[in-house]
Amino acid sequence: MYRAAIVGCGRIGCGFDDDPRREHVSTHAGAYVRTPGVELVALSDVDAAKLDRYGDKFQVQGRYLDYQEMLRREALDILSVCTWSPTHRQILEDAVAAGVKAVFCEKPIAESLEAADAMVRCCTHAGVLLMINCQRRFDSMHQQLAELLQDGRLGKVQQVTCYYSGGVANNGGHLFDVLRFLFGEVAWVQGTLSENPSPNPDDPNLDGCMKFRSGLLAVVQACDSSQFSVFELNILAARGRLAIRRFGLEVQFEEVRQSEQFSEDRDFYPAAPPVELGSQEFMLQAVAHLVDCLQHRRKPICSGEDGRRALELIMGMLTSAHDGSRRVSMPLLSSPVVIPSR
Ligand SMILES: NC(=O)c1ccc[n+]([C@@H]2O[C@H](COP(=O)([O-])OP(=O)(O)OC[C@H]3O[C@@H](n4cnc5c(N)ncnc54)[C@H](O)[C@@H]3O)[C@@H](O)[C@H]2O)c1
């Protein structure tokens, strides 16, 4: 039985599961308490009210205002880091020093590339498994999509257009990770400040584009979440159009065939999606994957390096937006950009 704990009992740590509209397990705590082979033994938050509330809800005895004390007392195997990114590095380094076997860290991995590199190095050196919660990677539908696009079953991908809301570091980072998961490594990025504001003045909305090493261009466009929230990819390939919608919970497909209106054209027509939806239990699948990786000493499908790559794309976009929308080549070995606390 792996002993797990969480630092940060906010929305993703514990709170999202309070929402009666959410059909799926949406927190680290919810996933740990439902996963065989794992026991959620402790929670830490600087907010005592959250400790009480979620300690009671998830029936966790160990409750700590100070995560260092938790690390000293609880002999943990797995630690979830669910605080804001500027705190991730210190908590991870303390957890590794305390002897955890795995760290399941929220995205963005860190507030700077320097911190992200230090985290990856620290875990590699200590033989600790580091998994980042870019959670669509754990979903079987997204895994099928990646295979389908990479083995060419839809033919040449011509264009990709994406919409997101909620800030480039926050939801933009998820989008960049999905794009990289589906289409591989990026050659360069370009960004500009969006006309549609982000809810967080410290995390702007950027419009931009991403050129992949394959030659594919993806356009990313930001929307104002005070009007609606969106996370959507539209992929136009030789054999059909895929629309991944509703934050990755829905997929629509149109196949390319002879136009019904024009003899010389081919057009898109609704058809059954070429992938299965799966359980859509991103968090449950993430924790099950973490346990499997621990048991079989496998590298996770969303490793520290993957988290670093997603951060690199955020940093590249921000650098471009602050510097006349110039092209920023990838990979970025270093960057002075720091993501602020929230
Ligand atoms: N993967 C996802 O889909 C997803 C969704 C939401 C948030 N996130 C990420 O998770 C992280 C947290 O976001 P959130 O929205 O849950 O934030 P939140 O503000 O709701 O929760 C953060 C919690 O951490 C606690 N905290 C801060 N410093 C602490 C410390 N030193 N020790 C103990 N507790 C401490 C705060 O009191 C708070 O309860 C961010 O990095 C965010 O980007 C990821």
Compute how many other C-beta atoms are within 10 angstroms of the C-beta atom of residue 23. 10
* Structural domain count, the chain: 2
pLDDT in tens, 31-78: 999 999 999 999 999 999 999 999 999 999 999 999 999 999 999 999
Ligand 1 mean position to 156 CA, how many Å?
A: 40
Domain of residue 128: give its range.
2-136+283-303
Ligand 1 residue neighbourhood (C-beta within 6 Å): 7-13, 44-47, 50, 67, 82-85, 87, 106-107, 133, 135, 170
Ligand 1 atom nearest the C-alpha of 83 is 24
Ligand 1 atom nearest the C-alpha of 173 is 43
Do 128 and 167 sit in the same domain of this protein? no
Does some domain include residue 109? yes
CB 212 within 8 A of CB 100: no
Ligand 1 mean position to 310 CA, how many Å?
A: 18
Does some domain include residue 277? no
Do 86 and 191 sit in the same domain of this protein? no
Do 291 and 245 sit in the same domain of this protein? no
For position 131, which CATH number holds? Answer: 3.40.50.720
Does some domain include residue 251? yes
For position 169, which CATH number holds? Answer: 3.30.360.10
Ligand 1 mean position to 8 CA, how many Å?
A: 5
Do 128 and 236 sit in the same domain of this protein? no
Q: Rounded to an integer, what distance in angstroms lies between the CA atom of residue 297 and that of residue 113?
A: 26
Mean pLDDT for 84-91 is 97
Do 123 and 24 sit in the same domain of this protein? yes
Do 11 and 66 sit in the same domain of this protein? yes
What burial letters (b/e) apply to 47-63, b meaning 16+ CB within 10 Å?
eeebbebbbebbebebb
Q: Which residues contact 288 (CB under 8 A, 6 or more apart)?
A: 35
Question: Quick one: how far is CA 125 from the chain centroid?
Answer: 24
pLDDT at 339: 87
pLDDT in tens, 178-193: 999 999 999 999 999 9
Ligand 1 mean position to 150 CA, how many Å?
A: 34
Do 228 and 248 sit in the same domain of this protein? yes
Do 180 and 229 sit in the same domain of this protein? yes
Ligand 1 mean position to 242 CA, how many Å?
A: 33
Q: Whose CA is nearest to atom 34 of ligand 1?
A: 45
Ligand 1 mean position to 280 CA, how many Å?
A: 22
Does some domain include residue 342? no
**β-sheet with 38-44: strand ranges across:** 62-64, 38-44, 2-7, 78-81, 102-105, 129-132
Do 29 and 81 sit in the same domain of this protein? yes
Do 80 and 115 sit in the same domain of this protein? yes
Is the model's pTM score more than 0.85?
Answer: yes
pLDDT in tens, 295-340: 999 999 999 999 999 999 999 999 999 999 999 999 999 999 998 7
Do 141 and 154 sit in the same domain of this protein? yes
pLDDT at 342: 64
Do 256 and 292 sit in the same domain of this protein? no
Q: Whose CA is nearest to atom 5 of ligand 1?
A: 12
Does some domain include residue 88? yes
